[in-house]
Structure 1
Amino acid sequence: MNRHQHGSQTSTDRKLTPITLLMILTSILLILLATLYPLNFSFPDSFTFSDIFINFNNVSNFEDQVNNVLLFMPLGFCFSSYLQSQKIKITLQILIIILTSAGLSFIVELLQIFLPSRVPTPSDVINNSLGGFFGWLCFYIWNYQSFTHTNITRVYGRHSRKQIIAFSLGYIFLTFLIAFFWQNTTNLSNWNFNYPLIIGNEYTGDRPWQGYVSKIYIADKAISPNEVIQGFINSDSFNNLGDSLLANYQLQGKCCYQENFSKTPKLMWQGQPSNRQYDRGVFVDSSQWLQTVNPVTYLSKSISKKSEFMLSTTVATAKTEQIGPARIISISGSSLRRNLTLSQQGNALDFRLRTPLTGENGSDLKLLIPNIFIDTKPHQIIITYSRATIQVYVDKLQNYYSFNLLDLIPKHQKLVYYSLTFIPFGLSLAILTLASRSLISSRLLVATGILLPSLILEFILVSDSGKSLSVKNLLLGILLTAGTMLILKVRAKLLYS
Structure 2
Amino acid sequence: MNRYNISLQVFNLLSFIFSILVVLLATLYPFNFSVPNEFFLPELFASFNNTSYFQDQVNNVLLFIPLGFSFTSLLQRFRIKLLLQILLVILVGAGLSLTVEFLQIFLPSRMPTPADIMNNSVGGFFGFVCFYLWNIQSLNNTINCLGFSKSRRPIKQITVFFLVYIFLTVLISLFWQSTTNLSNWDVNYPLIIGNERTGNRPWEGYVSEVYIADRAISINEVAQGLTDSSYLNKLGDSLLANYQFKGKCCYQDKTGKLSELLWQGKPSDRTEDKGVFLDSSHWLQTATPVTSLSERISKTSEFTLSTIIATANINQIGPARILSVSGDSQRRNWTLSQQGNGLDFRLRTPITGENGTELKLNIPNIFIDTNPHHIVITYSRATILIYVDKLQNYYSFNLLELIPKKQKLFYYALTFIPLGTALAILTLLAERRLQFSKLLVFGGILIPSLILEGILISDSGKHLSVKNLLIGIGFTAGTLLILRVRAAQFKRSI
User: TM-score when scaled to structure 2?
Assistant: 0.91
Name the SS for the 1:403 alignment partner.
strand
Residue 477 of structure 1, aligned match among 472, 475, 481? 472
Which residue of structure 1 lines up, in the alignment, with residue 131 of structure 2? 139
Structure 1 distance, partners of 2:75, 2:441, is 33
Structure 1 distance, partners of 2:441, 2:263, is 65
Shift of 1:21: 5.3
Q: Is the Cα–Cα contact under 8 Å of residues 418 and 477 in structure 1 kept in the other structure?
A: yes
Structure 2 distance, partners of 1:133, 1:384, is 39
- Tell whether 2:34 aligns with 1:43: yes
What amino acid is the match of 1:124? D
What amino acid is the match of 2:304? M
Which residue of structure 2 lines up, in the alignment, with residue 274 of structure 1? 268
- Tell whether 2:428 aligns with 1:429: no
The 1:330/1:227 distance shift into structure 2, 3 A limit, reads: same
The 1:484/1:102 distance shift into structure 2, 3 A limit, reads: closer
User: Within 5 Å, which residues of 2 pair with 1:221-300?
Assistant: 221-255=215-249, 257-258=251-252, 260-300=254-294
User: Within 5 Å, which residues of 2 pair with 1:32-431?
Assistant: 32-36=24-28, 39=30, 41=32, 43=34, 46-48=37-39, 50=41, 53-61=44-52, 63=54, 64=56, 67-85=59-77, 97-143=89-135, 145-148=137-140, 151=144, 154-155=147-148, 159-255=153-249, 257-258=251-252, 260-431=254-425
What amino acid is the match of 2:44? F
The 1:21/1:399 distance shift into structure 2, 3 A limit, reads: same
Q: Is the Cα–Cα contact under 8 Å of residues 61 and 357 in structure 1 kept in the other structure?
A: no
The 1:152/1:423 distance shift into structure 2, 3 A limit, reads: farther
Name the SS for the 2:391 alignment partner.
strand
Name the SS for the 1:383 alignment partner.
strand
- Tell whether 2:438 aligns with 1:446: no
Structure 1 distance, partners of 2:235, 2:313, is 34
Shift of 1:81: 2.5
Query: Aligned residues: percent identity?
Result: 64
Q: Is the Cα–Cα contact under 8 Å of residues 199 and 327 in structure 1 kept in the other structure?
A: yes
Q: Which segments of 5 or more consecutive residues in structure 1 lack a partner in the other structure? A: 1-6
The 1:360/1:137 distance shift into structure 2, 3 A limit, reads: same
What amino acid is the match of 1:129? S
Name the SS for the 1:420 alignment partner.
helix
| Mean CA deviation greater in 436-445 or 312-321 | 436-445
User: How many pairs align?
Assistant: 488
The 1:163/1:215 distance shift into structure 2, 3 A limit, reads: same
Name the SS for the 1:333 alignment partner.
strand
Shift of 1:202: 0.8
Which residue of structure 2 lines up, in the alignment, with residue 461 of structure 1? 456
Q: Which segments of 5 or more consecutive residues in structure 2 lack a partner in the other structure? A: none
| Mean CA deviation greater in 141-150 or 244-253 | 141-150
The 1:454/1:40 distance shift into structure 2, 3 A limit, reads: same
Which residue of structure 2 lines up, in the alignment, with residue 4 of structure 1? none
The 1:99/1:172 distance shift into structure 2, 3 A limit, reads: closer
Q: Residue deviations 1:203-255, cap 9 Å, x none?
A: 11111111110110111111122211111111111111111111110011224
Name the SS for the 2:106 alignment partner.
coil
What amino acid is the match of 2:37? S
Name the SS for the 2:457 alignment partner.
helix
Name the SS for the 1:247 alignment partner.
strand
Structure 2 distance, partners of 1:49, 1:193, is 17
Q: What is the RMSD of the two structures over their aligned residues, measured on CA atoms?
A: 2.6
Q: Is the Cα–Cα contact under 8 Å of residues 211 and 317 in structure 1 kept in the other structure?
A: yes
Shift of 1:152: 8.0
Q: Is the Cα–Cα contact under 8 Å of residues 379 and 395 in structure 1 kept in the other structure?
A: yes
Structure 1 distance, partners of 2:167, 2:221, is 40
Shift of 1:27: 3.3
Shift of 1:496: 0.8
The 1:41/1:320 distance shift into structure 2, 3 A limit, reads: farther
What amino acid is the match of 1:199? I
Shift of 1:43: 2.0
Residue 488 of structure 2, aligned match among 477, 486, 493? 493
Structure 2 distance, partners of 1:273, 1:52, is 33
What amino acid is the match of 2:49? N
Shift of 1:66: 5.7
Q: Residue deviations 1:80-121, cap 9 Å, x none?
A: 324444666767755654454344323322332233342213
Name the SS for the 2:139 alignment partner.
coil
Q: Residue deviations 1:10-53, cap 9 Å, x none?
A: 9756445565456445533442344235x373625624263772
Shift of 1:268: 0.8
Q: Is the Cα–Cα contact under 8 Å of residues 376 and 386 in structure 2 kept in the other structure?
A: yes
What amino acid is the match of 2:61? V
Shift of 1:438: 1.8
Q: Residue deviations 1:296-346, cap 9 Å, x none?
A: 111111111111111011111111111111110000111111100001111
